[in-house]
A = this chain, B = another copy of it.
Amino acid sequence: MADLTLEDIAKQAGVSRSTVSRVVNDLPNVSPDVRKRVLDVIQKTDFHPNAAARTLASQRSWTIALVLPHSVSSFFTDPYFPHLIKGIAQGCNQYNYTLALFLVGTKEDEDMMFPRVARKGLVDGVIVQAGHHGDQAIVGRLVNSKIPLVVAGRPFHPNDVSYIDVNNIEAAQNAVRHLIKLGRKRIATIEGPWNSTVSIDRKEGYLKALAENGWSVNDTLITVGDFTEEGGYTAMQQLLPQNPDAVFAASDAMAIGAMRAVREAGLRVPEDIAFVGFDDLPISAYTPVKLTTVHQPVVQFGVTAVEMLIDLIENGTFPPRRVIVDTELIVRESCGASLTK
């Protein structure tokens, strides 16, 4: 009931503190009967070793930090974040780590978070969500602090940092390839804002798909949104006069907004204009015309990020590790695949 220590358990089991420690940590070289006796006492007394003492003595906290810069309000609407959190929490559970969460909204938040994460004795390593230009300051400070670090999403300056990212380029390329294969000729894109690596890569995939078919790029078929429904709507209005017969949107939210613009213009999806989105939002399966989109395995992504980080913690941070995760194209109605059957 009261606060027990190793020594208390040792006394009750008639052994030494060291032996109890060995049992608790599941180390070898303890005779079976002694181990059992100690285990019984531990069970009976519901003993749990003090985490702080263990951390102090072993210089390992078995805790990792997840740093989420949430300047973007998409934190509240994009299911990416809950899925990422779930994946990372799951990875932590699996490897017996505790997860410390740092939401960084303001510079003050950052200054508060930083010493905690960088100082010894609290966390063994850090996963930081980056990929937006505004996150680079945090990433830089983290890199300088020499703590084991995994960046989720490709950072702007990926030298010497370990990161995990979705294969945005190939995913986008596949999406556009799919539209080409379905016979679309004037394929437009609504890209994301310039300040994220995600946008940059998805656009590159679009361009590569055109290039591999020997198509030239038509700049009037390229517009830029801000990853929101509104942004997609506005971008589509600019696109409409160019008579595209297909659109690859760099996010589902933008695709949904763009389809709304198409509907309001009296055109049909997918007959007149086909759509492929990106993200596989839950709602994309329920839109008036169900959206064909790129699905990212976000939960698995989170688990893998944890595994990478543990590798860095245990085996050193050099050389930096890279993991690029593949995606899946979910074919539904908006691309018009069913029309050609």
Contact = CB atoms under 8 A, between A and B. Distances in A.
Contacts of A103: 85-86, 89-90
A125 to B, nearest CB: 15
A85 B101 contact: yes
Interface string A92-103: 010010111111
Given A52-B56, A56-B50, A99-B100, A93 B76 contact: no
A63 B65 CA distance: 13
B229 A115 contact: no
A327 B77 CA distance: 21
Contacts of A122: 51-52, 98
Say how many copies of this protein the assembly contains.
2
Given A76-B82, A82-B81, A119 B48 contact: yes
Interface residues of A, number: 48
Contacts of A55: 52, 55, 121
Given A48-B119, A100-B98, A119-B50, A77 B79 contact: yes
Interface in A23-74: 48-56, 61, 63, 66, 70
A101 B84 CA distance: 13
A120 to B, nearest CB: 5
Interface in A225-248: 229
A109 interface: yes
The listed residue with most B CB atoms (<10 A of its CB), out of A66, A81, A101, A102, is A101
Given A49-B119, A52-B121, A55-B52, A282 B76 contact: yes
Contact of A53 (B90, B99, B121): B121
A194 interface: no
A15 interface: no
A83 interface: yes
Nearest to A78: B82
A114 to B, nearest CB: 9
Contacts of A75: 82, 86
A109 B89 CA distance: 10
A195 B208 CA distance: 52
A116 interface: yes
Contacts of A50: 56, 119-121
Contacts of A100: 63, 98-101
B115 A48 contact: yes
A318 interface: no
B61 A52 contact: yes
Contacts of A101: 66, 85, 89, 99-101
Contacts of A83: 76
A78 to B, nearest CB: 9
A219 interface: no
A9 to B, nearest CB: 14
A46 to B, nearest CB: 9
A77 to B, nearest CB: 6
Contacts of A53: 52, 56, 121
A246 B4 CA distance: 60
Nearest to A282: B77
Given A70-B86, A93-B113, 11 more contacts: A48-B115, A50-B120, A51-B120, A52-B52, A52-B56, A54-B121, A56-B56, A75-B86, A99-B100, A99-B102, A100-B101
